[in-house]
Each structure stands twice: as C-alpha cells, then as structure tokens.
Amino acid sequence: MTNLAIATDKLSKSYGSKVALDALSLDVATGEIFGLLGHNGAGKTTTVNLLTTLLEPTQGDAEVAGHSVTGDAMGVRRSIGYLPENVQFYDHLTLTENLRFFAQLSGLRRPDQRIRDVLHILDFDGHDRQRLGTFSKGMRQRVGIAQAILHAPSVLFLDEPTSGLDPEGVRTLRETIVRLNSEFGMTIFMNTHLLSEVTKTCTSIGILRGGTLVHQDTLARTLAAFPGEDSLEAIYFQLESEPVS
C-alpha cells in the first residue's frame, strides 16, 4: 500500500435504494495522472466526493495518501487539493483575498509568499488585486487549480477540470496539470468526459458504468490491448458496453 496514493476497498455509496457507487476497488499509484471516465451519472463525482471526504461511504473504505477516509478524514483533507466541477469563488473579493482564505484554512500560517509563488506558476502575475467576479471562465478554472495546490498537497482531485473551457483554456489547463505532476510530483486523479485530453494527459484510466468499475489499467496497456481500435474513444465505447463480469 505504501506506493499507492489512492486505494479503495469496496467503496460504496447509496442514496436510499439508489446505488450511486457499488463496491469500488481501485488503486492509483503515487505519481500517476489517473483519469476516471464514464457517462453522466456513472458515479464519477460521487467517487471524488467520497475520496475528498465530502461524502461518507455507505460501505467500504479508502485510503488517500495513507489516510483512511472513514477513520482519518482530517488527515485526508490535509493531504489533498480539490477542484470541483464549475468551481466558484467569493466574487466580491480579490484573487489574493480568496487564495489567502483557502491557504489559511489549509493551515498555512503566512501564506502570502506561497500565494505569490503559485500565482507565478499559473501565470497570474499582475492579477492579484483583481476581483474574481471579473475573471473569465478559463482564468477561474486556473484559480481553482491555484487554490487546490496552495498547500502543496500530495494528491490532487480534479472534477471535470476542462468543463466549459475554450480550446485555448483546455490546452493551458492540460499543460498546467502535466507540469504539476512532472515538476511537483503530485498524484492527480481527474474525472473527465474529454477522451482526447485523457490520451494527452493521463498515465492510467478507469471506466465507471452505473456505479461499477468496468475497467482499470494504464493507458498504454489499455491501448495495446485493443490493437484493432485506432482511438481511446472506440475502446471506451467498447469497454463501456461490455457486460459486467
């Protein structure tokens, strides 16, 4: 388990009689960029919400950065960064005021230098006193990344990070994700619909269908296992439609 950033053990979540996630068991190695794929309602966001301790599992458990989501939720929260889908901020506050709040909640005592560093990494120099309400969608998404990495987490969760971005925004975000992984060694777990982005970004993938994991492997092995298929999209639809064993 020591080499694993994320390990889930029959992780399940139900809402009444509706099963949102059914006995999910998956492993994500440290340093990977893991892409969780699936249709809408497949259970991707539920998985991220469970792994970030925003939800409590109905059954099962998971370890994130060595901390149990059921037994040591605070330890998990100290170790992760999280970018929700359609991230929102306090629009009447400036970029620095927003980031200072989240940095201090994460336990940073004097966060201003770290904020300056992160803003530089994400190419936000000169925007620090600008109110968030004036930012474009692409800029807000990068601010979302900024708030998630302020405290240098070991695992970063991104829920549909490219949702609503224009092609330029998608490219910038992709470069940022790859850089965070390669330069800072962060393990990245992301939900996404954009299979082309998965091909360019992820090192391993999982596919969820109706709350059940139907496939998990490295991207390279997945592509190699389907020599007749010329794209991840074709493989995805094939795996997604196979009966669950």
Partner 1 sequence: MNTFLVSARHEMLNTRRARTAHLLLIVFIGMVIASSVIGWVTNQTVTGVYEKVVADGLTTAPNPFTGVSPLYYAGNAVIYVLLIGSLMAIVLGVQATLRDRKAATVDLVMSRPVGSAARLLGQLAGLGVVLAAVIGISFSVSWIIISIINGAPLGWADTGRVVAFGLVSWVLLTTFALLGMLTGLRSKQETTALLVPFVIWSAVAFVLPQIGTAARPVSLLNPVPAGSSTGGYFDVVSTITGPLSLTEQFKRASSIILQDTNVTGDATSSILILLAFLAVMTVVVVATPRHRMRSGLHE
Indicate the residue among 93 and 178 with the shorter CB distance to partner 1: 93
Q: For residue 38, give the nearest of 245, 227, 209 by alpha carbon.
A: 209
Residue 128 corresponds to which amino acid?
D
Torsions phi, psi for 154 (to 5 deg): -85, -25
Question: Considering only residues 107, 134, 185, 221, which one is a binding residue for partner 1 as defined by CB under 8 A?
Answer: 107
Indicate the residue among 45 and 204 with the shorter CB distance to partner 1: 45
Q: How many chain residues bind partner 1 (CB under 8 A)?
A: 28
Residue 52 corresponds to which amino acid?
T
Spatial neighbors of 57 by CB under 8 A, at least 6 apart, are 11, 12, 13, 50, 69, 70
Task: Determine, following the binding rule CB under 8 A, whether residue 68 of this chain makes contact with partner 1.
Answer: no
Q: Per-residue contact track with partner 1, 140 to 159, x per CB under 8 A?
A: -------x------------
Helix axes 95-105 and 112-121, enclosed angle (nearest 10):
120
Tell me the window of 25-33, 71-79, 166-174, 236-244 that interacts with partner 1 (CB under 8 A): 71-79
In the complex, least distance from residue 5 CB atom to partner 1, rounded to whole angstroms:
16
Indicate the residue among 87 and 232 with the shorter CB distance to partner 1: 87
Which residues, listed in sequence order, are joined to residue 212 by a DSSP beta bridge?
209
Give, in degrees to the nearest 5, the angle at Cα 109 between 108 and 112: 80
Indicate the residue among 106 and 222 with the shorter CB distance to partner 1: 106
Question: Considering only residues 8, 46, 96, 106, which one is a binding residue for partner 1 as defined by CB under 8 A?
Answer: 106
Which parts of 72-91 interact with partner 1 (CB under 8 A)? 74, 77-78, 80, 82, 84, 86-91
Which parts of 36-65 interact with partner 1 (CB under 8 A)? 52-56
In the complex, least distance from residue 7 CB atom to partner 1, rounded to whole angstroms:
19
Contact 213, 26 (CB under 8 A): yes
Token pair recorded at residue 230 = 């010329």
Q: What is the CA radius of gyration of the chain?
A: 18
Which residues, listed in sequence order, are joined to residue 218 by a DSSP beta bridge?
204
Which residues, listed in sequence order, are joined to residue 15 by a DSSP beta bridge?
18
Task: Determine, following the binding rule CB under 8 A, whether residue 6 of this chain makes contact with partner 1.
Answer: no
Q: Which chain residues interact with partner 1 by CB under 8 A?
A: 52-56, 74, 77-78, 80, 82, 84, 86-93, 97, 101-102, 104-107, 109, 147
